[in-house]
Structure 1
Amino acid sequence: MSASTLNPRPQTRPSSPRLWRPKRVLVTPAAMEWKYGRAILERAAALGSEIVELKSNRLTGLTGENARQTYVNAKTTLAVVVAPPSKRRLQPIPPSADWRVDLAEGCPAHCQYCYLAGSLSGPPITRVYANLPEILGSLSDYVGKGGVTSVSEERAHEGTTFEASCYTDPLGIEHLTGSLAETIAHFGSWQAPVQLRFTTKYDAVQPLLNLSHQRHTRIRFSVNAQPVARFEGGTAPVAARLRAMRQVALAGYRVGLTVAPIMPVEGWRDAYSALLHEVAQQLSDVPDLDLTVELITHRFTPGSKSVLNEWYPGSDLEMNEETRARKMTKFNSVKYVYMPDVMREMRAFFDKAVSEHLPGARILYWT
């Protein structure tokens, strides 16, 4: 990637990421039988979290007096549970990857456009799975059987891809779980054409830098222009995420940029151009850089809008059905996206802007 038109290369600066500390940690009897579950409790206790050992494998006590209190209770609670067999049967996750592998469900962040709203049932508690060996042990059955990279001429070199951040941000809870490092090491030692992928809005990458990943993991950073990033409460600042991207790229990881959700806010062209320029600065001197870009526009469903309005009353996030195009999802439900002319305009902009700022990057998809 040429740096001739860029500012002097930035130096990687030491940072102290702000780590999530759950107020309380619920643990089921089944999770206590796994050493990974017990290790999570030890880490949480060291941070000062209250440990609550449940009498059964059912989570209880999450409901508050109203929707807002229920949300607060859930967002300050971590549950250590066991993934049942149904959760270990992998599902396809196009266009990102062949298969979805869940290390956890739920996220400690407070994004006002949250993609999980309406997707997961019950209060938005973060559940982490203690039976990690069982989860990783079942992955070999899916190699070569996917419907995205496994069958794509353009992406076949990625092998069978496994997405670990569909229903969580694994880096945001890694200081508690350790599951992400274990999974990266598993893929690094796996002698097969496979790749692990995950997306994050956090920057605590230090525990991952010295792992023997063998370039079998692509770490993607979800970023946005400043006018939109203000909706992302409880996450690392965008600048910190980009510095973290630089760190993992220098550590040899394949990296990715997930620009999401793209919104045509006032001044969006200049704002997104500035974002891409900063990415180029951070990555300009990284040797053997492998960079992908995923471009995802904002959308919502009637169900997610209702949930988000309960979680974030008073938010000025635009969710006006009258200014959107109504479409059907693959599950035959309704979603609202931007009008076709707006989508065409934004896509043309990003196609050109990415090629100008990040000429060595590959755009995987626009949606």
Structure 2
Amino acid sequence: MIHESPNSLAVPHIGGVNLSLEEVNHQAEIVSESALPEIAAPKSAPLWMPQRAVFTPAALEHQHGRDILARVEALGIEVEFPKSNRIMGLKKENERATYSTAKRTLAVVTSPPSYLKLQPIPPSADWQYHLAEGCPAHCQYCYLAGSLSGPPVVRVFANLEEILGNLPRYEDIKSPVARPRGFSPTSERGREDSTSFEVSCYTDPLGIEHLSGSLAASIRYFGTREKGFLRTVSKFDAVDGLLDLPHNGQSRFRFSINAVPVSSRLEGGTANVAARLQAARKMALPRERGGGDYPIGLVIAPIMPMDDWREHYSLLLDEAARALDFDCNLTFELITHRFTPGSKDVLLQWYPKTSLDLDESKREIKRNKFGGTKYVYPRETMKELKAWFFAEIEARFPNGKILYWT
């Protein structure tokens, strides 16, 4: 049997994205575990409004950077114009204070030159490219912890024309990393020569779209491509501005969802799951019914075997089935929770009062080809979880496609 401590997820939902770290941790202390909480009514996330926006000289050389500046100024956000292309003033007296300052800062910069040399990103896509890095949400299992250097400021890249203009040459380059079983280009376009591009590796593009406009530009761009196919994922729900874009079926819009004990307590500053599912419905509905007619996906992540996990995840899948009660182009991606020694250290500095279970003794060690270590659930636990999810998804979504399990 799979069993976790009943208190291993006792972390509250944070309703807005601009909370201080002290408020995050205070709420974590006062919320207790409840038995089988129901899926709540849809609750949208407030649009992220940084306390300040910093524009480097290089960013303002690009029209996209100047467009972002116009949006920011129209919203009354404090703007700074440093003389150099470095972002200063983020490091504070300790990691918690640094985190709080960084999470309230938007930096509009140009992307590092290395980002124009695309890297494969299995199992999600053939290639990854970046519109930004850093995220306005407060997920206490954050995948970016330990992955990005420096304070977790949200950096939006102003050289969008250069970033998009770099993509066509990768459409004909085979990714050097083999796709996992169950994933192929035909999952997206029904063509063997299509190439997929993931844009959500280092950020949640929808969470900053009202400031950046970069996601809409990407969707329009891929709508003109024959071989390139865009993949993005979000925990936010502000999709109305994307519904009428000419995507031409070339963008799959996925939403990350999870059971209530995870989503309501560990995913601060995001739309709740009910709101994300309603956004997925909007994106998938045909145009004649007021939707966006997009291919969509549900990313169930990170899967955690908390007490009564079958009941919690059954409620989640039932809610998803109700939201998507029509024929649509739907995929699933199933990702279990894992962490590294480095990410654990960072997360405990950001969220010292978190009750997220990071006990290595309950995990198995998995090593990559470079010698890196991550802690994953034991093999028998993974086997039990996988069998259950595959059976339950196939029962509710016979036309949905599970792309991978990891």
Q: Return the TM-score normalized by structure 1.
A: 0.93
In structure 1, what residue type is equivalent to 2:335?
I
The answer to whether 1:227 aligns with 2:261 is yes
In the alignment, the residues of structure 2 paired with residue 153 and residue 50 of structure 1 have an alpha-carbon distance, to the nearest angstrom, of 48
SS at match of 2:301: strand
Correspondences of 1:1-367 after superposition (within 5 Å): 17-147=45-175, 155-157=184-186, 158=188, 159-190=194-225, 192-229=226-263, 230-250=265-285, 251-285=292-326, 287=327, 289-367=328-406
The equivalent of 1:7 in structure 2 is none
In the alignment, the residues of structure 2 paired with residue 152 and residue 339 of structure 1 have an alpha-carbon distance, to the nearest angstrom, of 21
In structure 1, what residue type is equivalent to 2:185?
A
- Identity of matched residues, %: 56
Paired residues of 2:123 and 2:180 also in contact (CA < 8 A): no
Tell me the CA shift for residue 16 of structure 1.
6.1
SS at match of 1:259: strand
Aligned Cα RMSD in Å? 1.7
Tell me the CA shift for residue 141 of structure 1.
0.6
Paired residues of 1:326 and 1:335 also in contact (CA < 8 A): yes
Bigger drift between 223-232 and 149-158 goes to 149-158
Bigger drift between 35-44 and 174-183 goes to 35-44
SS at match of 1:363: strand
1:241–1:330 distance in 2 versus 1, CA, 3 Å: farther
Tell me the CA shift for residue 49 of structure 1.
1.5
Paired residues of 1:276 and 1:358 also in contact (CA < 8 A): no
SS at match of 2:299: strand
Paired residues of 2:42 and 2:274 also in contact (CA < 8 A): no
Structure 2, gaps ≥5 residues long? 1-40, 189-193, 286-291
1:137–1:25 distance in 2 versus 1, CA, 3 Å: same
In the alignment, the residues of structure 1 paired with residue 301 and residue 181 of structure 2 have an alpha-carbon distance, to the nearest angstrom, of 24
Residues 270-318 of structure 1: CA deviation (Å, up to 9, x unaligned): 1111111111111112x4x110000000000000000000000110000
SS at match of 2:58: helix
Q: Return the TM-score normalized by structure 2.
A: 0.84
In the alignment, the residues of structure 1 paired with residue 204 and residue 182 of structure 2 have an alpha-carbon distance, to the nearest angstrom, of 29
In the alignment, the residues of structure 2 paired with residue 317 and residue 16 of structure 1 have an alpha-carbon distance, to the nearest angstrom, of 24
Residues 175-220 of structure 1: CA deviation (Å, up to 9, x unaligned): 0000000010000012x22210011000000110000000100000
SS at match of 1:299: coil
In the alignment, the residues of structure 1 paired with residue 108 and residue 117 of structure 2 have an alpha-carbon distance, to the nearest angstrom, of 20
In the alignment, the residues of structure 2 paired with residue 17 and residue 313 of structure 1 have an alpha-carbon distance, to the nearest angstrom, of 24
In the alignment, the residues of structure 1 paired with residue 332 and residue 180 of structure 2 have an alpha-carbon distance, to the nearest angstrom, of 20
Tell me the CA shift for residue 329 of structure 1.
2.5
Q: How many residues align?
A: 352
In the alignment, the residues of structure 2 paired with residue 138 and residue 168 of structure 1 have an alpha-carbon distance, to the nearest angstrom, of 19
Tell me the CA shift for residue 146 of structure 1.
3.2
The equivalent of 1:8 in structure 2 is none
Structure 1, gaps ≥5 residues long? 1-12
Residues 144-178 of structure 1: CA deviation (Å, up to 9, x unaligned): 32336989896232320000000100000000000
The equivalent of 2:288 in structure 1 is none
